[in-house]
Amino acid sequence: MYYAKAYAAASAESPLAFATIPRREPRECDVQLEILFCGICHSDLHAVRNEWEDNSPTIYPIVPGHEIVGRVTKVGSAVTKFKVGDIAAIGCLVGSDRTCPNCRAGMENFCPHMVMTYNSPDPHTGRATYGGYSESIVADEHFVLRMPHNLDLAAAAPLLCAGITTYSPLRHWKVGRGKKAGVVGLGGLGHVAVKIAHALGAHVAVFTTSPGKREDAMRLGADEVIVSRDANQMAQHSGSFDFIIDCVSAQHDINEYIELLAVDGNLTLVGAPPQPLPVSAHTLIFGRKSLSGSLIGGLAETQEMLDFCGQHQITADVEVIPIQKCNEAYERMLKSDVKYRFSIDMASLHSA
Ligand code: NAP
Ligand code: ZN
């Protein structure tokens, strides 16, 4: 065991503050990273404030962060993928049973025994897992990803959650050339979804509650922008979408989007508002439409996504901040005032 500097919240009402946390010494299959950058995902805020209490109550203290890029500082004797000095990454998962049918199919993200990067019981320490708002982290090499060499690391960190969470359903639902795809909510996930859907060749429409984001959306790769609070703009697209990915973090009416699907169209929820969302059966059944969810992605698909983003020069648009500004960043994220992801420069932790 060794101790690492981190930022942790002691309760749902507490701000994130400096703390030291225990980490395991790397075992034979483990890789230790010095964390260089960690993105701020809205899931971090939901978890820190225990907003998902009904589904996954928060274990305090919590150290959030699952968009981690770092430099390898130690490797166990059995590690084959990495050597000291390599740049590597960790996303939302640090463990799974590796034997269940889902793991064997490359879907560790649906393993009944998956260990999330933070807020999961840690089989190694008996405590909770602690995430990337920290100077270092240790994980089995199976859960550590290789980074493309051509991407800026601060901007690439968000791919580890926002990237895979949007890439996976876009691929699953075969979004590409000749398909009309919608992205709801131009935040951290949404803006990466626009870039990936555009690179896949789809016609991309952005739905936003923020009319001021129109120009950004077009620059990011959208073909059109629809202000979702304007009923006339919405009505013009009735029954026309093959696929819509909903990246909204708060309560909203998903029936408005089901209405816009073509026959056999699909609406996938990746946003995870704390409260249930009402669904109109009538809107769904007229047109054999489907509503689904999606949770991050497996390890092989995460590597595929990183390689795809390397080939297409896709990263997040980031505002790099010192860790001391993370509480302020949460308040700005709640106001949709971030263009379009915060990325923490972890060097700032050394002056904490
Ligand atoms: P974010 O950066 O805060 O973006 C959310 C966007 O939703 C906002 O920028 C805003 O876009 C829109 N929005 C916010 N409040 C709204 C409201 N009341 N009504 C309508 N639109 C609203 O958050 P994020 O990091 O992208 O995360 C989005 C959600 O995905 C969170 O719930 C997060 O927990 C979840 N998530 C899920 C997975 C998964 O695996 N399924 C992975 C990561 C995150 P506009 O200004 O354009 O309207
Ligand atoms: Zn996330």
CA distance 213 to 231: 18
Task: Give the pLDDT confidence score for residue 351 in this predicted structure.
Answer: 81
For residue 194 the two structure tokens come to: 């626009």
Residue owning the nearest CA to atom 30 of ligand 1: 271
Residue owning the nearest CA to atom 31 of ligand 1: 249
Task: Give the pLDDT confidence score for residue 20 in this predicted structure.
Answer: 97
Arithmetic mean of pLDDT, 11-15? 98
CA distance 132 to 28: 22
- pLDDT surpasses 70 at 184: yes
Q: Give residues with Cβ within 8 angstroms of 99, minimum separation 6.
A: none
For residue 337 the two structure tokens come to: 């005032």
What atom of ligand 1 comes closest to residue 210's alpha carbon? 46
pLDDT more than 90, % of the chain = 98
Please give the distance, rounded to the nearest whole angstrom, from the Cα atom of residue 247 to the centre of ligand 1: 5
Q: pLDDT grade, residue 111 (50/70/90)?
A: very high
Could you tell me if the CB of 297 is within 6 A of ligand 1?
no
Could you tell me if the CB of 247 is within 6 A of ligand 1?
yes
CA distance 170 to 193: 8
What atom of ligand 1 comes closest to residue 109's alpha carbon? 40
pTM of the model: 0.98
Residue pLDDT, tens place only, 48-59: 999 999 999 999
Q: pLDDT grade, residue 66 (50/70/90)?
A: very high
- Let me know if 332 is exposed, middle or buried by CB neighbors in 10 A (0-12, 13-18, 19+): middle
Arithmetic mean of pLDDT, 181-198? 98
Please give the distance, rounded to the nearest whole angstrom, from the Cα atom of residue 141 to the centre of ligand 1: 30
Q: Residue 62's closest CA among 43, 78, 82, 85?
A: 43
Arithmetic mean of pLDDT, 232-241? 98
Judged by its nearest atom, the ligand closest to the C-alpha of residue 334 is 1
- pLDDT surpasses 80 at 352: no
Q: pLDDT grade, residue 125 (50/70/90)?
A: confident
Could you tell me if the CB of 64 is within 6 A of ligand 1?
no
Q: What angle do CA 127, 131, 137 make, to 5 degrees?
A: 90
What atom of ligand 1 comes closest to residue 252's alpha carbon? 19
CA distance 66 to 318: 16
Q: pLDDT grade, residue 6 (50/70/90)?
A: very high
Please give the distance, rounded to the nearest whole angstrom, from the Cα atom of residue 56 to the centre of ligand 1: 18
Q: pLDDT grade, residue 303 (50/70/90)?
A: very high
Q: Residue 222's closest CA among 203, 239, 240, 241?
A: 203
Taking only Cα atoms into account, the Rg of the chain, rounded to an integer number of angstroms, comes to: 20
Could you tell me if the CB of 42 is within 6 A of ligand 1?
yes
- pLDDT surpasses 90 at 79: yes
Cβ density class 52-91: b for 16+ within 10 Å, e for less:
beeeeebbebbbbbbbbbbbbebbbeebeebeeebbbbbb
Arithmetic mean of pLDDT, 262-289? 97
Please give the distance, rounded to the nearest whole angstrom, from the Cα atom of residue 242 to the centre of ligand 2: 25
3-state secondary structure the chain: CEEEEEEEECCCCCCCEEEEEEECCCCCCEEEEEEEEEEECHHHHHHHCCCCCCCCCCCCCECCCCCEEEEEEEECCCCCCCCCCCEEEECCEEECCCCCHHHHCCCHHHCCCCEECCCCECCCCCCECCCCCECEEEEEHHHCEECCCCCCHHHHHHHHCHHHHHHHHHHHCCCCCCCEEEEECCCHHHHHHHHHHHHCCCEEEEEECCHHHHHHHHHHCCCEEEECCCHHHHHCCCCCEEEEEECCCCCCCCHHHHCCEEEEEEEEECCCCCCCCCCCHHHHHCCCCEEEECCCCCHHHHHHHHHHHHHCCCCCCEEEEEHHHHHHHHHHHHCCCCCCEEEEEHHHHHHC
Mean pLDDT of the chain: 97
Judged by its nearest atom, the ligand closest to the C-alpha of residue 68 is 2
Judged by its nearest atom, the ligand closest to the C-alpha of residue 66 is 2
Could you tell me if the CB of 102 is within 6 A of ligand 1?
no
CA distance 299 to 92: 10
CA distance 237 to 28: 55
Q: Provide φ and ψ at 316, rounded to 5°.
A: -80, 155
Specify the higher pLDDT residue, 75 or 351. Answer: 75
Could you tell me if the CB of 295 is within 6 A of ligand 1?
yes
